[in-house]
């Protein structure tokens, strides 16, 4: 019996990296897991048995307890989310960005923001875009999120980002076409992941990743490449819980007049006061309010 880490799941096989540094073993899962309604996930710590017939296959026989579990993407034991958007092509969807951050907070993950294609900011015609990205970076750094500008072409920001990922299991997420595969190729040289250019007609990229897979980055980091997302839904939850997904509003909410304040139109709301005075970012609040209404209305329907 050996211990290891599931680094890929594909076509009914779970590919396990043994702790002793041996070759990855393609394993099937014991039927017992199906009877228990449990499925192994990428990121799971497991015990497995390798067959002695020389086939290079094995069987996952035991799953260790998980520290975290995500549904989309299906992955376990992640502690960090690397949220990737391009400075342009495709344009930054601020609502989607804040939804990624909110979902990461709700999952208990540490979030890092990465804006790719930073080399495009150096073009003479990109002065306005450069100012916009600088303002965006300042907004999220004030909240407490680490923000990196990277260029897969020139290598800008890669060394600093690698330092953030060291010793962590990180999931990478973001819009399609932002350069996630190109970024991974920089973070883990030798992967040579397939990439696609942005569709000029549609203004978005093609999906180049079809499954979840963990790759080694740096000396002790693991990073999961995942299929690109365009929409995400909040889990079933009370609307009041959304405040905790926006750290700056959670801190302000201690000053609200009413307990359980939704920060929508309640009198004596400290969050609304901060937005009105410019203390809190108005765009972030608009996204919070839209998400709160979405969650509340869905709860009423069911």
Binding residues: 116-119, 174-182, 256, 261, 263, 269
CB 191 within 8 A of CB 245: no
Binding residues for Zn(2+): 256, 261, 263, 269
Binding residues for GTP: 116-119, 174-182
26 class by beta-carbon count within 10 Å (0-12 exposed, 13-18 middle, 19+ buried): middle
Dihedral sign from CA coordinates of 42, 197, 113, 236: negative
Contacts of residue 89, defined as CB under 8 A and 6 or more positions apart, other chains included, come to 117, 120, 177, 198, 203
Contacts of residue 193, defined as CB under 8 A and 6 or more positions apart, other chains included, come to 181, 182, 184, 185, 208, 209, 225
């Amino acid at each position: 019996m050996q211990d290891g880490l599931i680094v890929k799941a594909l076509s009914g096989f779970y590919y396990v990296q043994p702790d002793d540094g041996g070759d990855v073993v393609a394993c099937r899962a014991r039927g017992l897991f199906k009877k228990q309604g449990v499925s192994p996930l990428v990121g799971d710590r497991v015990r497995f048995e390798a067959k002695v017939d020389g086939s290079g296959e094995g069987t996952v026989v035991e799953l260790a307890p998980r520290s975290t579990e995500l549904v989309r993407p299906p992955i376990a034991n992640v502690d960090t989310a690397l949220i990737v958007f391009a400075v342009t092509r495709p344009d930054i969807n601020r609502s989607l960005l804040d939804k990624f951050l909110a979902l990461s907070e709700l999952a208990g993950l540490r979030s890092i923001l990465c804006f790719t294609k930073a080399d495009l900011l150096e073009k003479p015609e990109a002065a306005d875009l450069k100012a916009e990205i600088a303002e965006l970076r300042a907004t999220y750094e004030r909240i407490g999120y680490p923000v990196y500008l990277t260029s897969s072409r020139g290598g800008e920001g890669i060394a600093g980002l690698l330092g953030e990922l060291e010793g962590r299991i990180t999931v990478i997420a973001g819009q399609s076409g932002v350069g996630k595969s190109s970024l991974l190729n920089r973070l883990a040289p030798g992967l040579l992941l397939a990439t696609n250019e942005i569709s000029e007609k549609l203004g978005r990229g093609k999906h180049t990743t079809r499954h979840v897979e963990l790759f080694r980055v740096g000396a002790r980091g693991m990073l999961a490449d995942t299929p690109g997302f365009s929409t995400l839904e909040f889990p079933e939850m009370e609307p009041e819980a959304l405040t905790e997904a926006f750290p700056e509003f959670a801190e302000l909410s201690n000053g609200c007049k009413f307990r359980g304040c939704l920060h929508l139109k309640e009198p004596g709301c400290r969050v609304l006061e901060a937005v009105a005075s410019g203390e809190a970012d108005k765009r972030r609040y608009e996204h919070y309010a839209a998400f709160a209404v979405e969650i509340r209305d869905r709860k009423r329907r069911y």
